[in-house]
């Protein structure tokens, strides 16, 4: 694909309910316009259920670029609306973990993120799919959906990652491992697990989960933290956070363009932080699905 330029016109859509969205909307609008991008629309969306509607309106209006500010859930929720469309997708990381922005190599401060939009480049990337639902970065089964279903929204908003981790510890004391089946081209693989991660990018929860996962690999990666002892999950997160050499000993990984996933008892799946699915599911890759902005 030719190295096409970043569009100089865009619509800005910010999830004003995300942790930093409301406070940073005005700053983002001013900085983007000052940097030379003409905003043909700018919308602070205080009802997250309206984000898709605003993105679809921007695409229908012919906007060459849509800039979305929010967390991983906001971004993942709207990528469906730009798949197959002649529009560039740009990200302002206004969430808690900002895993998709990290995977893209974006700065997490507003000045750096705006600079990437202004002087960066376009990159065609894969999306993941859980059945027919597209997602940007990662999905998970196990402790993550338990946290996502129960965490008070204001705890994330006001305390950020500290509040999220505190709630995660509370959930961990009540969590139990489960049986999981991953089916790839070689057949079904059955094992005990404390967490299953479905990775399109390297990051989940703001932590590098796999150096092998890539946004343009043409494959999905399922990573299973194996065993019946829930403390293996705690050690796995600790080892990955501190990049210890022993971290790969705790997981099994499966790759492919299409994989099947099931569990007993049946489990929910959080997709980029939002609990949206339940096993059994089919995991697929949507190759080169959207055009995104990344740093130069």
pLDDT in tens, 177-228: 999 999 999 999 999 999 999 999 999 989 999 988 999 999 999 999 999 9
Domain range 9-126, its CATH number among 3.30.413.10, 3.40.50.10330, 1.10.10.10, 3.30.565.10: 3.40.50.10330
Distance CA 128, CA 54 (A): 22
> How many whole angstroms separate alpha carbon 33 and alpha carbon 63?
15
Q: Which residues contact 161 (CB under 8 A, 6 or more apart)?
A: 96, 97, 206
User: Which residues make beta-bridge pairs with 286?
Assistant: 127
Residue 212 DSSP class: S
Distance between CA atoms of residues 289 and 83, nearest Å: 6
What percentage of the chain carries pLDDT values higher than 90?
74
Region 119-138: mean pLDDT is: 97
Tokens of 44: 């602070």
The closest alpha carbon to 69, from 37, 36, 23, belongs to: 23
Euclidean distance between CA atoms 171 and 190, whole angstroms? 25
Residue 241 has what pLDDT?
A: 87
Residue that is written with structure tokens 């929010």 in the block: 70
The number of CA neighbours under 13 Å toward the Cβ of 189 is 16
Mean pLDDT for 157-168 is 66
Q: How confident is the model at residue 156 (pLDDT cuts 50, 70, 90)?
A: low
Beta strands in 166-205 (DSSP E): 178-184, 187-199, 203-204
C-alpha dihedral sign at 74, 75, 76, 77:
positive
Residues 19, 94 contacting (CB under 8 angstroms)? yes
Task: Quote the tokens at residue 9.
Answer: 């016109």
Domain boundaries, the chain: 9-126, 135-288
Whether pLDDT at 54 is above 70: yes
DSSP-derived 3-state class of residue 110: helix
Q: Is the pLDDT of residue 153 over 70?
A: no
Q: Give residue 282's pLDDT band: very low, low, confident or very high (50, 70, 90).
A: very high
| Architecture of the domain delimited by 135-288 | Sandwich (2.60)
Q: Which long-range contacts (CB under 8 A, 24 or more apart) does 147-155 make?
A: 147/171, 147/270, 148/270, 148/273, 148/274, 148/275, 149/268, 149/275, 153/17
DSSP 50: G
**Pairing verdict, β 65-70 and 9-15:** parallel
What's the mean per-residue pLDDT of the chain?
Answer: 91
In this model, does residue 232 exceed pLDDT 80? yes
| Pairing assessment for the beta strands 178-184 and 274-278 based on DSSP bridges | unpaired
Q: What is the pLDDT of residues 235-281, one digit of tens each?
A: 998 889 888 877 778 899 999 999 999 999 999 999 998 889 999 99
Per-residue pLDDT, 283: 98
pLDDT attached to residue 159: 55
71 vs 89 pLDDT, higher one: 89
Average pLDDT over residues 118-129: 97
CA dist., res. 294 & res. 101, Å (int): 9
Q: Is the pLDDT of residue 100 over 90?
A: yes
Domains 9-126 and 135-288 share a fold: no
pLDDT of residue 225: 96
Q: How many CB atoms lie within 10 A of CB 24?
A: 20
* Mean pLDDT for the stretch of residues 138-147: 88
Q: What confidence tier does 74 reach under pLDDT thresholds 50, 70, 90?
A: very high
Q: What is the pLDDT of residue 18?
A: 65
Give residue 20's pLDDT band: very low, low, confident or very high (50, 70, 90): low
Residue 17, pLDDT score: 81
State whether residue 47 is helix, strand or coil.
coil
Which residue did the predictor score with more confidence, 158 or 129?
A: 129
pLDDT tops 90 at residue 165: no
Q: Compute the average pLDDT of residues 114-142.
A: 96
């Amino acid at each position: 694909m030719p190295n096409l330029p970043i569009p100089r016109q865009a619509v800005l859509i910010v999830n004003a309910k995300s942790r930093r969205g409301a406070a940073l909307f005005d700053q983002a609008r001013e900085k983007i316009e000052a940097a030379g991008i003409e905003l043909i629309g700018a919308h602070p969306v205080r009802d997250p259920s309206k984000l898709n509607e605003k993105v679809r309106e921007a695409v229908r209006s012919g906007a060459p670029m849509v800039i979305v500010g929010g967390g991983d859930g906001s971004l993942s929720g709207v990528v469906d609306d730009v798949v197959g469309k002649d529009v560039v997708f740009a990200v302002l990381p206004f969430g808690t973990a900002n895993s998709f922005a990290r995977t893209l190599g974006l700065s997490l401060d507003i000045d750096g993120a705006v600079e990437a939009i202004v002087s960066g480049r376009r990159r065609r990337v894969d999306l993941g799919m859980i059945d027919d639902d597209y997602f940007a970065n990662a999905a998970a089964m196990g402790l993550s959906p338990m946290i996502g279903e129960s965490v008070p929204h204001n705890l994330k908003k006001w305390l950020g990652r500290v509040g999220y981790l505190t709630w995660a510890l509370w959930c961990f004391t009540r969590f139990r491992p489960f049986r999981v089946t991953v089916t790839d081209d070689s057949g079904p693989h059955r094992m005990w697990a404390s967490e299953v991660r479905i990775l399109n990018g390297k990051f989940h929860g703001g932590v590098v989960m796999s150096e092998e996962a890539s946004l343009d690999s043409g494959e999905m990666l399922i990573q299973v933290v194996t065993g019946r002892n829930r403390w293996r999950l705690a050690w796995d997160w600790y080892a990955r956070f501190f990049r210890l050499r022993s971290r790969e000993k705790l997981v099994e990984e499966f790759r492919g363009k299409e994989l099947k996933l099931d569990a007993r008892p049946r489990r929910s799946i959080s997709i980029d932080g939002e609990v949206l699915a339940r096993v059994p599911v089919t995991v697929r890759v949507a190759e080169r699905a959207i055009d995104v902005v990344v740093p130069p």
